[in-house]
Amino acid sequence: MPVHTYSNWNLRSSDQEKQIEPFRKYFFICEGANTETFYFQKLIDLRKELGIHPLIDIRLWEKTGEDRNLSFAKNLVEFAEKQKAITENDFDANRDKMVIVFDGDIFEEKVQGYEELVSSIEKTDIAAVSNPGFELFLLLHIEGSYEKYIKGQETQFLKKDEKERYNHAYNVLLGATGMNAKKNPLVGNLAENVLIAIRQEKLINQDIHQMRGKVSSNVGFIIESIINEKPDI
């Protein structure tokens, strides 16, 4: 099975309770196999505390087997489209939304087709992009992190290290939390501060169509939209 679905939708205390179908499901599928999985699993567990409407479901599609390390956004989109067509995955094209989560760093220099990719996703679904990477969004969960680590230091985030990697956000997060975001599942607990991240994200660029050369993220914007959604049924 190419994906494992993580959800805590409509957990029932007994089998006698009526099963309710969600009005809309948001399926998150991520470029990274570890960090984003740690985070979105925790976020899903917090759905009630965040006040997400009872008829809005959030699910994480976790890549499995040979697809686990599938990355590059274009390949991820193609993979996700195939998952939509599988009946067992319970994707309703008329109501549900797929959220493709990927890093913008690869598009900073030489990879072409970013705007075409985002526009194609937005025809039916949602593109969630962090530039340079997801660790930037995680950093925003720490109160005061924008002022302390980002403001006036934006260019550092978009510089490569000696190994040609955009690792500044990862290193700053490691220093601030003591956690290796790529390996430590406890980094997912930052989701408890998602409202801080939503607020601080508004201090950086959230327009993913104008992302190149800018420290950017719209992940918090998307989560806030889901929290605020009230189904008109």
**How far is 4 from 74, CA to CA, in rounded Å?**
20
Coil, helix or strand at residue 15: coil
Residue 39, Cα to own-chain centre: how many angstroms? Answer: 8
CA dihedral in degrees (7, 11, 15, 19; nearest 10)?
A: -80
**How far is 90 from 211, CA to CA, in rounded Å?**
33
Q: Contact at 8 Å (CB) between 196 and 140?
A: yes
Which residues have CB under 8 Å from 2's CB, separation 6+? 63, 64, 65, 67, 79, 82, 83, 86
Q: What is the per-residue pLDDT for 70?
A: 56
Domain ranges in the chain are 22-228
Q: What is the per-residue pLDDT for 113?
A: 87
Q: What is the per-residue pLDDT for 163?
A: 81
**How far is 108 from 119, CA to CA, in rounded Å?**
17
Q: What is the per-residue pLDDT for 73?
A: 84
| pLDDT tens, the chain, 233 aa long | 466 787 875 554 444 455 577 899 999 999 877 899 999 999 999 999 999 999 999 999 987 665 555 557 888 898 889 999 999 999 999 999 999 999 999 888 767 889 999 999 999 999 999 999 999 999 999 999 999 999 999 999 999 888 888 999 999 999 999 999 999 999 999 999 999 999 999 999 999 999 999 999 999 999 999 999 998 76
The sign one gets for the Cα dihedral 30, 33, 38, 42 is positive
Q: What is the per-residue pLDDT for 14?
A: 46
Residue 192, Cα to own-chain centre: how many angstroms? Answer: 15
